[in-house]
Amino acid sequence: MTLRVVRGGAPAAEAPATAPDGARAYVELAGVAKTYRRDGRQTHALERVDLAIRAGEFLAIVGPSGCGKSTLLRLVAGLHLPTSGETRVAGRIVDRPQTDLGIVFQSPVLLDWRTALANVLVQVELRGLDPRAYRERALNLLAQVGLKDFADRYPHELSGGMRQRVAIARALIHDAPLLLMDEPFGALDAQTREEMRLDLEALWLATRKTVLFITHSIDEAVLLADRVVVMSPRPGRIERIIDVGLPRPRGLPARRAPEFVQAAELITGIFLARGVLHGAGGETTQDQNP
Amino acid sequence: MALASRRGRAFVAWLGHRGGALTIFVLLFVAWEAAVHVFGIKEYLLPPPSKVWSEFWRRHEIVMSGAWVTTQEILAGYALAVVVSIPLALAVAYSRFMENAVYPVIVFLQIVPKIAIAPLFIIWFGFGFTPKLLLVFLLSFFPIVVSSIAGFKSADRDVMDFARTTGAGSLTMFFKIRLPQALPHIFTGLKVGAALAATAAVVAEFVASDRGLGYLLLQYNGQLDTPMVFATIVVLSLIGLVVYYAVEVVERIAIPWHVSQQATAKDATL
């Protein structure tokens, strides 16, 4: 039983926020709130979030911009500290930047002066490890993300999608158990996005890391995740957590599966009810539905 | 194959680029020479390039010894500017106190027309080498320090966040991320500073001196020895050009990735 009694007395009705019986929670947020102060003004980015991510789970958070989903990711990484509540990773309280993870942002943030290979290896160099020992592994990872022939190219010689693939390889090189992805495909065109999604699923199936995946695309969340956390805008709250029962690998056909349609419509419905989406149907992200 | 043809095309493009500029230069000199002869323009107003060259050749020893003096002033003042401004930029970028206390002063002093200070330097430091060195320093200093500060502060938030998740120490982060990221900005400042250095040296010599190209320039001007005025200006320009290109060569060696990145961006827009 991983249900936690949360400071401030969270009602047991929020049970879906925690992992079900038997599964070990790798990441836990208990009553986590984050308020930014600037010029005496307060912005409530996150309001009392309870969430548990199981070890080996692929969890997606979907929500409109300004719902605090990126804040949530930074709290898990220890890049921000919560105003109240606590975050735990692998049972330890997060009170400083965490190092036992890989992180991917919306922009690839590669170092312009390094080749793709050297950009992957910077991860181990910054950790004070010998990059020569990781060279083989880095080349394998680059091959896995489809960049076998591009290891010696500089970022400005790569396309946006290829750069993001390098960033993903960089997040995996040190084999950390947790992968944090903050809208990693947000800056890519639709077709590249689709390819990246398929490759990410394959990569995840091969490694089974715990993944926290932030996106504003309902399709992407449902197609990739075991569970989708739906967030509502300012102040950010968890609106609903949806189990996605689609079998793996999901690949392309999953878009036609009834489970996908059902989950996507459920989330769309929540966004419509919350005023996140407006207007008549057909202009949401579900344009490929039958 | 693909690479070879890409290089080949780049070379042809380069030739077209530079070749055009070269042709225009040659045409300009030809037109100049012809115009002077055809319209019978007086030599003290506009000497033909051939006359400038022959006069220069006749008295090149005087000009070259003056050039050596000016070059020394430029190099010493510029070197001092580099040595002072980059550590200062580091301090401003990394110390909250320095940022609050020193940076506003730098910004304010930058607005002062530095050349206006030259006469003051004569009062303080006399007619020798020192006031020239200081004026060169002063003019080169500001662009270098301002763009270096911008460079050291330019680190992207996400890059730094990524670096923090590696647990790297601040020294490692500086040498692996912040410094290389700042270098393109620093070189921009270094190039602007180099271009200003020659101007500063000549102005300082104008104000008070008994040697150097600025001194010679005033002498020739007073004697209406216009061919030598032109010759001196050309030598002065060449010194400025050499200093500037020297910095650019260092840039190419230090940050080849940045130079080629710009080249790619240029190719893309062509």
pLDDT digit string (tens) for A95-149? 999 999 999 999 999 999 999 999 999 999 999 999 999 999 999 999 988 899 9
Candidate from B163, B181, B260 with C-beta closest to A126: B163
Taking 60 as the threshold, does the pLDDT of residue A239 lie above it?
A: yes
Q: Which residue has the tokens 């990569």?
A: A203
- Is A190 or A280 the better-scoring residue by pLDDT? A190
What is the rounded average pLDDT of the residues A258-287? 75
Q: Would you place residue A287 in the very low, low, confident or very high pLDDT band (cuts 50, 70, 90)?
A: very low
Chain A residues 5-64 within an 8 A CB cutoff of chain B: none
Per-residue confidence (pLDDT) for residue B267, from 0 to 100:
55
> What six digits make up the tokens of A260?
């996908």
Q: Which residue has the tokens 């005033």?
A: B218
Per-residue confidence (pLDDT) for residue A8, from 0 to 100:
38
Round to whole Å and give the CA distance between B165 and A101. Answer: 7
Per-residue confidence (pLDDT) for residue A290, from 0 to 100:
35
What is the rounded average pLDDT of the residues A212-219? 94
Write the CATH number of the domain with boundaries B51-258.
1.10.3720.10
Round to whole Å and give the CA distance between B133 and B72. Answer: 9
Taking 90 as the threshold, does the pLDDT of residue A171 lie above it?
A: yes
Beta carbons of A122 and B172 less than 8 Å apart: no
> What six digits make up the tokens of B219?
């002498």
- For residue A70, the SS3 value is helix
Per-residue confidence (pLDDT) for residue B266, from 0 to 100:
55
Beta carbons of A109 and B159 less than 8 Å apart: yes
B158 Rama sector, left if φ>0, alpha if ψ -120 to 50, beta otherwise = alpha
Per-residue confidence (pLDDT) for residue B11, from 0 to 100:
73
Does A81 touch chain B if contact means CB atoms closer than 8 Å? no
Q: Rounded to a whole number, what is the distance in angstroms from the first to the last CA of chain B?
A: 23
What is the rounded average pLDDT of the residues A160-169? 94
Candidate from A99, A122, A125 with C-beta closest to B167: A99
Per-residue confidence (pLDDT) for residue B268, from 0 to 100:
53
Query: What mean pLDDT is reported for chain A?
Result: 85
Beta carbons of A105 and B166 less than 8 Å apart: no
Beta carbons of B166 and A127 less than 8 Å apart: yes
Q: Would you place residue A286 in the very low, low, confident or very high pLDDT band (cuts 50, 70, 90)?
A: very low
Round to whole Å and give the CA distance between B73 and A59. Answer: 65
The residue of chain B with its CA nearest to that of A179 is: B165
Per-residue confidence (pLDDT) for residue A279, from 0 to 100:
61
Beta carbons of A125 and B176 less than 8 Å apart: yes
Q: How far lies B262's CA from each of A96, B10, B268, in Å?
A: 38, 14, 10
Candidate from A77, A114, A154 with C-beta closest to B165: A77
The residue of chain A with its CA nearest to that of B164 is: A97
> What six digits make up the tokens of A5?
């009694």
Per-residue confidence (pLDDT) for residue B4, from 0 to 100:
65
Candidate from B164, B176, B261 with C-beta closest to A156: B261
- Given a contact cutoff of 8 angstroms between Cβ atoms, the answer to whether A178 and A210 are in contact is yes
pTM for the complete prediction? 0.80
Q: Would you place residue A56 in the very low, low, confident or very high pLDDT band (cuts 50, 70, 90)?
A: very high
Q: Would you place residue A14 in the very low, low, confident or very high pLDDT band (cuts 50, 70, 90)?
A: very low
Q: Percent of chain A at pLDDT above 70?
A: 88
Shortest distance, CA B245 to any CA of chain A (angstroms): 22
Round to whole Å and give the CA distance between B214 and B62. Answer: 13
Per-residue confidence (pLDDT) for residue B200, from 0 to 100:
94
Q: How crowded is residue B239: how many other Cβ atoms within 10 Å of its Cβ? A: 21
Chain A residues 86-125 within an 8 A CB cutoff of chain B: 97-99, 101-103, 105, 107, 109, 111-114, 122-123, 125
> What six digits make up the tokens of A136?
């083989």
Per-residue confidence (pLDDT) for residue A65, from 0 to 100:
81
Write out residues in chain B with pLDDT < 70, as ranges. Answer: 1-4, 15, 260-261, 263-270
Interface A–B counts its CB contacts (< 8 A) at 64
Chain B positions with Cβ closer than 8 Å to A: 156, 158-159, 161-168, 172-173, 176-177, 180-181, 255, 257-258, 260-261, 264-265
Candidate from B161, B255, B257 with C-beta closest to A79: B161
